[in-house]
Amino acid sequence: MTKKSAKTTADEKLLVGIDLGTSRSAISADNGKKKWVESYVGWPRDFISRKVVGKPMLFGEEAVEHRLSLDMYRPLKNGVIKEGTARDEEAVKELIRHLISLVQPSRNDSKIRAVVGVPAESFKVNKVALKKAVAEFSEALFVVSEPFAVAYGVGALDNALVIDIGAGTVDFCIMHGTVPSEEDQRTVLTAGDYIDQQLFTFLKDRYPEADFNLNMIRRFKEEHSFVGTVDKDVEVEIPVEGKSTVHNITDEMKRACDSILPAIVESTLELIAKFDPEYQDAIRGNIILAGGGSQIRGLVEYLEETIGEYGPTKVRVVDDPLFGGADGALELAKEMPEEYWTEL
């Protein structure tokens, strides 16, 4: 017992799975902790701002709340780490550092190994940038596509198709009992942010006197998004000349949400059609939705009906859309063979 207890904390490893998202980023750790934040980083604009916010930088919801006092960065546009400015690269680094701090009991209690999920087709670009971002506070890294991480977490490793609908991208990955290749994966950019932009435009056209911003639009979408039909109209309160006024946005919400469907259906059908014909029915019968967009009401039924025209189709949603990618990445970290890790 004495020899076991003499093991130093420096020899221990904290394994973490990170899902870096355009809108939200999540982390799961093997010490049982899991956290998420909005993918925003903000620095005070001047000494007055620094006095008001009381911190050298802010993250997530707190940054959004104080955005008028901050230089705001949302560094994962379309799921890809922005290039060109040192500030964007620093924002990614600080976001990852912040996520790790949320699950690590103390700064020096253990070495960190991180599996990080990124959009499928940005894998190569992000891998280099992530290596730079985490090198300071992680000893080893493994970068995977987000839908692969989700598939691993739910045990869908054979004859399955994962569709991860995020803010910046929709990512597809066919699983067939091996690590997926580039041909097994796809990314499209018409995702949650695209719905926001469409809804913003539609509402500006219909209600030009209303006063709203993209943050408000995003909240409307997250609460009321749907495809198909709904039992009652979607009504929200939007200021008009400073007075809160009820607006009916049912038609605009439907049009905005419908706008991402063609690319999802087309990509799904193309991926399945290119797969071994003997297993196409099995893939169609095991489609898994993940990410925030999986919560759009009516989406499961729509996909089952539309894709079902090509054969029997079954679509289900992961139990935890927010942590599905991070939890899967953590499971990978726990079971990863040593030779797969990239030492930093």
What dotted CATH number matches 192-258?
A: 3.30.420.40
Q: C-alpha angle 127/26/183, rounded to 5°?
A: 40
Are domains 10-153+324-343 and 192-258 of this chain identical in fold? yes
Structural contact between residues 227 and 254, judged by C-beta atoms closer than 8 angstroms? yes
Helices (H), the chain: 2-5, 47-53, 60-65, 86-103, 123-134, 146-154, 192-206, 214-224, 250-258, 261-274, 280-284, 299-307, 324-335
The reported pLDDT for the residue numbered 266 is 97
Residue in 167, 343, 323, 180 with CA at minimum distance from that of residue 260: 167
The three-class DSSP label of residue 222 is helix
Paired sense of beta strands 158-165 and 287-290, if any = parallel
80: its two tokens = 């890809």
Give the DSSP per-residue string, 50-76. HHHH-SS-EEHHHHHHTGGGEEEE---
| Residue 130 reports pLDDT greater than 80 | no
The reported pLDDT for the residue numbered 108 is 55
| Residue 162 reports pLDDT greater than 70 | yes
Model confidence over 20-39: pLDDT tens digits?
888 899 999 999 999 999 99
Model confidence over 46-65: pLDDT tens digits?
999 999 999 999 999 999 99
The mean pLDDT value for 66-91 works out to 79
Handedness of CA 282, 284, 285, 289 (dihedral sign): positive
| Residue 2 reports pLDDT greater than 50 | no
Model confidence over 245-302: pLDDT tens digits?
999 999 999 999 999 999 999 999 999 999 999 999 999 999 999 999 999 999 999 9
Domain ranges of the chain: 10-153+324-343, 192-258
Residues 25, 223: Cα–Cα separation, whole Å: 19
The reported pLDDT for the residue numbered 9 is 43
Residues 289, 163: Cα–Cα separation, whole Å: 5
Structural contact between residues 60 and 101, judged by C-beta atoms closer than 8 angstroms? no
Residues 110, 41: Cα–Cα separation, whole Å: 26
- Per-residue DSSP letter, 191: S
Handedness of CA 176, 181, 183, 185 (dihedral sign): positive
The reported pLDDT for the residue numbered 105 is 67
Residues 133, 96: Cα–Cα separation, whole Å: 8
For the whole model, what pTM was predicted? 0.88
The reported pLDDT for the residue numbered 10 is 43
**Lowest-pLDDT choice from 116-125, 169-178, 333-342:** 116-125
Please provide residue 174's backbone torsions phi and psi, each rounded to the nearest 5 degrees.
-90, 130
**10-153+324-343 CATH, one of 3.30.420.40, 3.40.50.300, 2.60.40.1170, 3.40.50.970:** 3.30.420.40
Q: Specify the higher pLDDT residue, 93 or 196.
A: 196
